[in-house]
Amino acid sequence: MAKVSIQEGMTEMSAVKLSGAEILLKSIEAEGVDTIFGYPGGQALPIYDALYDSGIRHILARHEQGAAHAADGYARATGKPGVCLATSGPGATNLVTGIANAYMDSVPLVAITGQVTRSSLGKDSFQEADITGITMPIVKHNYLVKDPAELAQTVKDAFHIATTGRPGPVLIDMPSDVSLEKVPYRRPGQPDLPGYKPLLDGDHSLIMEAARAIAKSERPLIYSGGGVVISGAQEELVRLAEMLLAPVTSTLLGLGGFPGNHPLSLGMLGMHGTKYANFAVCECDLLIAVGARFDNRVTGKLETFAPGAKVIHIDIDPAEIGKNVRVDIPIVGDVKRVLRQLLEVLQPRLGAAWQEKIQAWKKEYPLEYRENGDSLKPQSIIREIYYLTNGQARIATEVGQHQMWTAQYYSFTKPRSFITSGGLGTMGFGLPAALGVQVGCPGETVFNIAGDGSIQMNIQELCTAVNYELPVNVAILDNGYLGLVRQWQEMFYNRRYSQSELQNPDFVKLAEAYGAEGYRVTKKSEVTPVLEQAIRSNKPVMIDFIIDREDNVLPIVPPGESLNKMLG
């Protein structure tokens, strides 16, 4: 304490002078950050120079987009904020997809960009881009730092904003002369943001109203989203479901928030959800939405979504309530806290008839796939990965068929074990995200389940994996198509396969060229031994699984249709 008061008592004259870059790194470290992901360049050089002497570990990606996704994956797996760093202009714009991705999925990401000097701003200077303007629609907040004396407070506020309430990305743009200028360092105070006060506890009268609605309902259904994972509410959600004997269906981002192997789990709902989950939505009389946002991939046709149900919506973001569907009982607050409040006032209920109905659906309409001669089935490869990792691996994916199959067939039991781009649907997310996951969770088994299209969107990050000895396993489900595009063309565009067939490189040679291990699997008998070898290996491994070419993700609710109009 004495030490603190001495520092606070220092006059500006006697305070230590630090450069903006030094203040930046010191402030980041003070937030508990030990690893960042980035890529240097001209206007970021002062920051990189300060980094040279700093204790912060820097992972050098091979493309700024890779750095952003890696920081995102790190944040999703650990729950800590992810930090990425890039230079001005193209460096900054290359982060944009990564930032938008983090925004859509509520990931705490702090992006730092170099910028041209203050006097060069607004003059179309070399490598100048108005990144605060460009990112305005896709950040929770952003800053262009014009005074190094304000920097420490800005970083403090930025981390506070990124990690509290509904998390999201915050960008800090650093003109290079701000990074170089030396000013007396003063510790930041607590964030003082008059317009930012997230509500954490649910309103008591609404909690009571929800409890009454629950007591009255005969067919309750819990619809669980990414908010459950973010707020760490798995235990509370399981207690709620068991107390009410209410089945639980999850969104893509909610998977792992409720154990996929729990008897009350219905798996995923929506466009590629299970039939029994979608039937349950159509027939429930009470829908308890927990940390979910009624995305159009989930609801299908809005007019017929949960038609007979009263809706309770628990979410930390008031703007999500009533945005897409009418809500009867809105409860704004942190999911974990609100569930605890609810559990205190709820009575256990019995619901034998509803249980029987659900069990009958599960029996009649299981998630299933048909073997096709000797062809490798993607679903069975994912099941095999599940068995070999005891369901305990961290799985990142790209976007497409492989992603949906993973969501369907790897029964995620742990929160933060499924790392996938939900809202933005970013191909090229999986590989760099998997690296971030592996950095955040050393010693754990990490997979990137990919498609042959997506993997090529950030394949350069394989080099990063080799460089930093990150033993991620990349399983490419290779059908020589942009599979989901081809599937939609087959189903909705008269099989006119416009630009969806791919000519691919030799992935095995490519892996080897990067210094990773590469395997190709064409026979069923090879699946298990190669996967075992990959999991055992302490090097990055890329496996090219040549799968059934025209397999589809089923069931599917055609776009804009009601959830009970599933095909397949």
Partner 1 sequence: MKKNTLAVLVVNKPGVLARISGLLSRRVVNIESIAAGYTEEPDVTRITLDVKGDEQALEQVIKQLSKLIDVIKIVELKTEESVERELALIKVKAETSRRSEIVNLVSVFRANIIDVNKETMIIEILGDEKKINAFCAVLDDYGVVELVRTGKIALSRGPLAVKQ
Q: Which of 322, 366, 515, 559 binds partner 1 (CB under 8 A)?
A: 322
Q: For residues 157-172, b (16+ Cβ closer than 10 Å) or e, as one string?
A: bbbbbbbbbbbbbbbb
192 or 356: CB nearest partner 1: 192
Residue from 9, 32, 195, 373 touching partner 1 (CB under 8 A): that is 195
State yes or no: residue 32 binds partner 1 (CB under 8 A).
Answer: no
Does residue 488 bind partner 1 (CB under 8 A)? no
Q: Which stretch binds partner 1 (CB under 8 A): 147-155, 239-247, 314-322, 477-485?
A: 314-322
Rounded distance between C-alpha atoms, residue 422 and residue 248, angstroms? 19
Helix pair angle (378-388, 524-536), 10° resolution: 40
Closer to partner 1 by Cβ: residue 59 or 152: 152
**Among 93, 117, 196, 296, interactor with partner 1 by CB under 8 A:** 196
Give yes or no for a contact between 458 and 63, defined as CB atoms under 8 angstroms apart.
yes
Q: Does residue 275 bind partner 1 (CB under 8 A)?
A: no
Looking at the DSSP bridge assignments, the partners of residue 256 are none
Number of residues near partner 1 (by CB under 8 A):
18
Query: Least distance (Å) from partner 1 to the CB of residue 420?
Result: 25
In sequence order, what are the beta bridge partners of 136?
none
524-552 burial code (b ≥16 CB/10 A, e <16): eeebeebbeebbeeebbbbbbbbbbebbb
Measured over all CA atoms, what is the biggest interatomic distance in the chain, rounded to whole angstroms? Answer: 80
Nearer to partner 1 (CB atom), residue 193 or residue 513: 193
Q: By CB under 8 A, tell whether 473 contacts partner 1.
A: no
Q: Is 123 in the site for partner 1 (CB under 8 A)?
A: no
* Burial class of residue 3, CB neighbours in 10 A (0-12, 13-18, 19+): exposed
Cβ 163 to partner 1 shortest distance, Å: 14
Instruction: Tell me which stretch binds partner 1 (CB under 8 A): 55-63, 320-328, 375-383, 417-425.
Output: 320-328
353 near partner 1 (CB under 8 A): no
CA 18 to chain centre: 36
Binding flag, residue 319, partner 1 (CB under 8 A):
yes
- Where are the extended beta strands (E) located within 191-345? 220-224, 248-250, 265-268, 286-290, 310-315, 329-332
Binder among 323, 495, 523, 536 for partner 1 (CB under 8 A): 323
Give the separation between CA 296 and CA 564, rounded to whole angstroms. Answer: 15
Question: Which one, 26 or 141, has the nearer CB to partner 1?
Answer: 141
Please give the residues from 133 up to 172 whose contact with partner 1 meets the rule CB under 8 A: 133, 136-137, 140-141, 144, 161
Query: Which one, 105 or 544, has the nearer CB to partner 1?
Result: 105
Q: Please identify, using beta-carbon distances, which residue of 55 and 194 lies nearer to partner 1.
A: 194
CA angle 452, 273, 233 (to 5 degrees): 100
**Residues near 547 by beta carbon (within 8 Å), at least 6 away in sequence:** 375, 376, 377, 378, 381, 477, 478, 479
- Interface positions with partner 1 (CB under 8 A): 132-133, 136-137, 140-141, 144, 161, 193-196, 317-319, 321-323
